Amino acid sequence: MNPFSIYFHDLRRRYRISQRELANLIGYEQGYISGLEIGRKGPPNEEFVSKLIMGLNLDAEEQAALRQVVQESQRKYVLPSDASADVFRMVYELWGEMESLHPAQIRMIRDVLHLRNDLSAPNRAESGRTLQKGKIQGAKM
């Protein structure tokens, strides 16, 4: 199942509304609602998302979470035309292995992707040591 399917199912249950009731409320077929929940359909378009937000009167936090899982559930991605050959190869290799990846491998890949954020932020412990050495060296002068 995709992130949207899981969130959508939990959201509907949290609001204690059946698939049929929700379908009637927002103007969609019950079969479509079911297909979204089990991951056979989707992610939905902006019209569906807007009607769901209005129909359930979702608060700002729920709206943001809903829009986030819609983005996370996209099935098709287009690589930028100026992506490097290495990027194309990496995506091709990942695509070929996707079905057989172990959950630990998936976590590792995601950790590597988030590493970029850690590399750009200064390490406070290292900064503190550098500052401390500077103070000590300054005191000796």
For the stretch 64-118, pLDDT in tens is 999 999 999 998 889 999 999 999 999 999 999 999 999 999 999 999 988 876 6
CATH topology of domain 3-72: 434 Repressor (Amino-terminal Domain) (1.10.260)
For the stretch 48-66, pLDDT in tens is 999 999 999 999 999 999 9
E-only strand ranges, 55-108: none
Nearest to 42 by CA among 54, 55, 28: 28
Domain boundaries, the chain: 3-72, 85-140
Check: pTM over 0.85? Answer yes or no: no
**Contact call for residues 66 and 34 (beta carbons, < 8 A):** no
Task: Give the C-alpha distances (Å, rounded to integers) separating 100 from 39, 94, 109.
Answer: 19, 10, 14
